[in-house]
Amino acid sequence: MLKILNGGIEVVVEDWPGRLGYLGKGMAPAGAMDNVSLEFANLLVGNPVGEAGLEIAGGYFQAEFGADTVISVTGTDMKPTINDQAIPIWESVEVKKGDLIKFSHFSEFGFRSYMAVAGGIDVPVYLDSKSTCIFGSYGGFEGRKLQPDDVLKFGKPAQDLASLKDRKLNKKMIPEYSREWKIRAIPGPNTCPDYVTEEGMDFLFSHSFKIQHSSNRSAYRLDEVKPGFFAREDGGVGGSHPSNIVDHAYSMRGALNICGNTPIILIADGPTLGGYFCALSIINADLWKVGQGTPSRDYIKFLLCTPEEAIQARIEQRELFTEKSLL
Amino acid sequence: MEVTVKAHMPGLVARVVVNEGDKVTAGQEVAVINCMKTEIHVFVESDGVVKEILVKEWDEIEIGSPMIVLEA
């Protein structure tokens, strides 16, 4: 078990692919903001790669282990320590009962760190997933971020702990981080010429958008679009602003919603429907980059992509999460 | 000795809850940062007197931005 000493900025239990199949009932998928880091973390400790781990946003998390186990930390380097001794990331590490783990804050690159434990985090499976949806207050550990004195239970490891320690990810597999995240996206469903001008679409695929401070697990807000972006004067029966439409389902996760003049990426805990149009859809293989984007600091640049390229990228990404990626 | 209280998260300054000349004690909240639509509290690590406030409400700050100077 793990006793939380300091919940830090925002630490939640998340798995992958999250809670799929319930959008029609208004349930967000939740799930890890950076699935690549979570899945590699699980691979390192011998878990099924989609098993639940801890998503640590920002940092300052501290906890005490109540049992011997093996852990791995991935994602941004928050300079984690065990009993004040630095531990490596992208590797599995043995810990003992009574050990204290501490995280500093996010590094020069990236915003979220992930910790997997051999056997996974033992929280109830709710609607097919252990993921926390903060916005909806369900799933994970009591539907919320962790707080001091919370106690998490671990699942049963798949193998002997001794065989799981000191496993390393091949350095070639560690994702490349940036402060300007290049994210592939498919135009639509609401695009040129009905909703956005050609100049507007050029702007979406050429501007470097700063991530706004209010970005969180529901939505990443970006810089406003420029005059000349919209192809219509108003939203007709949908509303007075040209970004308005009659409410419809959003293509979760990864829709770029145009809300007034503000483009907003709808992600893990985001809304399942609404009355603003969506000009782009981020491809599944690049969603992790949104999760590592640091609010108030990093930028996002969209790269044009076809559905065929998106499917191929997804296939290639899924092939990474096997023992072949370990040294 | 002067001690500078720095931002531990990026975001907007939601408010500063002390005034220049106020005495503060270790662990006391002195400001609030708004990030991820969450209020994140800024605490001082040592006793002192607020000498200078370097930020104001709605200022955008980065991690490590100086916020308040204390005479410790």
Whether B53 and chain A come into contact, CB under 8 Å, resolves to no
pLDDT of A105 reads: 94
Token look-up 């859809």 returns A281
Partners of A56 in beta bridges: A11, A113
pLDDT of B72 reads: 86
Give the separation between CA A52 and CA A37, rounded to whole angstroms: 12
Strands B60-61 and B11-16: antiparallel
pLDDT of A251 reads: 87
Please give the backbone phi and psi of residue A117, each rounded to the nearest 5 degrees, phi first. Answer: -125, 140
**H or E element: which one contains B50?**
strand B48-53
**What's the first-to-final CA gap in chain A, in angstroms?**
29
pLDDT of A211 reads: 97
Task: From A211, A260, A222, A220, select the one nearest A239 (Cα to Cα).
Answer: A260
Separate counts of helices (H) and strands (E) for chain B: 0, 8
Interface contact flag, A10 B38, Cβ < 8 Å: yes
Whether B63 and chain A come into contact, CB under 8 Å, resolves to yes
Give the separation between CA A179 and CA A177, rounded to whole angstroms: 7
Strands (DSSP E) found in chain A:
2-7, 10-14, 53-57, 61-65, 69-75, 81-82, 85-86, 92-95, 100-102, 112-117, 151-152, 180-187, 209-210, 219-221, 244-249, 255-259, 262-266, 273-276, 278-282, 299-304
Q: Which residues of chain B have pLDDT under 50?
A: none
pLDDT of A158 reads: 86
Q: Which residues of A touch B8 (CB under 8 A)?
A: 60, 105
Cα A321 to Cα A171, A292, A324, distances in angstroms:
14, 19, 8
pLDDT of A184 reads: 98
The letter for the amino acid at A10 is: E
pLDDT tens, A276-297? 999 999 999 999 999 999 999 9
**H or E element: which one contains A291?**
helix A287-291
Q: What angle do CA A14, A310, A251 make, to 5 degrees?
A: 60
Interface contact flag, B35 A58, Cβ < 8 Å: yes
pLDDT of A46 reads: 97
- Reported ipTM: the value is 0.84
pLDDT tens, A10-32? 999 999 999 999 999 999 999 99
pLDDT of A87 reads: 98
Asked whether the predicted pLDDT for residue A89 surpasses 90, the reply is yes
Interface contact flag, A295 B62, Cβ < 8 Å: no
pLDDT of A252 reads: 85
Separate counts of helices (H) and strands (E) for chain A: 5, 20
Asked whether the predicted pLDDT for residue A108 surpasses 90, the reply is yes
Greatest Cα pair distance, chain A, in angstroms, is: 66
Give the separation between CA A217 and CA B37, rounded to whole angstroms: 10
**What's the first-to-final CA gap in chain B, in angstroms?**
5
Mean pLDDT of the residues in chain A: 97
Q: Which residues of B touch A295 (CB under 8 A)?
A: 10-11, 35-36
What are the structural domains, with CATH classification, of chain B?
2-71 (2.40.50.100)
pLDDT tens, A250-272? 988 999 999 999 999 999 999 99
pLDDT tens, A41-80? 999 999 999 999 999 999 999 999 999 999 999 999 999 9
Nearest beta carbon to residue B8 from set A105, A217, A295: A105
Asked whether the predicted pLDDT for residue A237 surpasses 90, the reply is yes
Split at pLDDT 50, 70, 90, the class of A118 is very high
Whether A215 and chain B come into contact, CB under 8 Å, resolves to yes
Interface contact flag, A296 B60, Cβ < 8 Å: yes
Task: From A50, A45, A101, select the one nearest A78 (Cα to Cα).
Answer: A101
What are the structural domains, with CATH classification, of chain A?
2-173 (no CATH), 180-318 (2.40.100.10)
Q: Where are the alpha helices (DSSP H) in A216-320?
A: 287-291, 307-318
Report whether A61 contacts A5 (CB < 8 A).
no
Q: What is the mean pLDDT of residues A172-199?
A: 97
pLDDT tens, A151-177? 999 999 989 999 999 999 999 999 999
